[in-house]
């Protein structure tokens, strides 16, 4: 079974530039998450999709971050314009369904450095 795929693995951009990350979840997984993990901290949930609908984006900085999940499969997360404090690892995860007993499977993440 293929895991969660993310690209790119690394990205360096200047502040005020834009950047996009891509995620392909495990086939058949209805729930998709984007997390931001700043160095030395735990992952912080940015947005959660159920199929192609947003179920939680309360911690997404909507003035600069956007995300979509077209057709309920792949997802993209965009930052425009980037700030220095956006430097972090962006983790995508998926789970089979919403439920307390379903673990999330994570991709390898995209390490973003904003200079």
Partner 1 sequence: AQKITQTQPGMFVQEKEAVTLDCTYDTSDPSYGLFWYKQPSSGEMIFLIYQGSYDQQNATEGRYSLNFQKARKSANLVISASQLGDSAMYFCAMREVGGATNKLIFGTGTLLAVQP
Phi and psi at residue 101, in whole multiples of 5°?
-100, 10
Residue whose CB is less far from partner 1, 27 or 58? 58
Give the distance, in angstroms, between the CA of residue 5 and the centroid of all CA atoms in the same chain: 11
Interacting residues toward partner 1 by CB under 8 A:
31, 33, 35, 41-45, 48, 55-56, 89, 91, 93, 95, 98-109, 111
Shortest reach from residue 104's CB to partner 1, in Å: 6
Residue whose CB is less far from partner 1, 56 or 68? 56
Contacts (Cβ under 8 Å, ≥6 apart) of 82: 13, 14, 15, 16, 17, 18, 19, 64, 112, 114
DSSP 107: -
Shortest reach from residue 13's CB to partner 1, in Å: 19
Residue whose CB is less far from partner 1, 48 or 75? 48
Q: Distance between CA 41 and CA 28 in Å, rounded?
A: 30
- Three-class SS of residue 28? coil
Shortest reach from residue 56's CB to partner 1, in Å: 4
Residue whose CB is less far from partner 1, 3 or 15? 3
Shortest reach from residue 27's CB to partner 1, in Å: 18
């Amino acid at each position: 079974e293929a895991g969660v795929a993310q690209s790119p693995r690394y990205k360096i951009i200047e502040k005020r530039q834009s950047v996009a990350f891509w995620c392909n979840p495990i086939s058949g997984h209805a729930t998709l998450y984007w997390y931001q993990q700043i160095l030395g901290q735990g992952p912080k949930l940015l947005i959660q999709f159920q199929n192609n609908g947003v179920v939680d984006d309360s911690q997404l900085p909507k003035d600069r971050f956007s995300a979509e999940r077209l057709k309920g499969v792949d997802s993209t997360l965009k930052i425009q314009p980037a700030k220095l404090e956006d430097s972090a690892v962006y983790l995508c995860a998926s789970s089979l369904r919403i439920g307390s007993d379903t673990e999330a499977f994570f991709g390898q993440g995209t390490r973003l450095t904003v200079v």
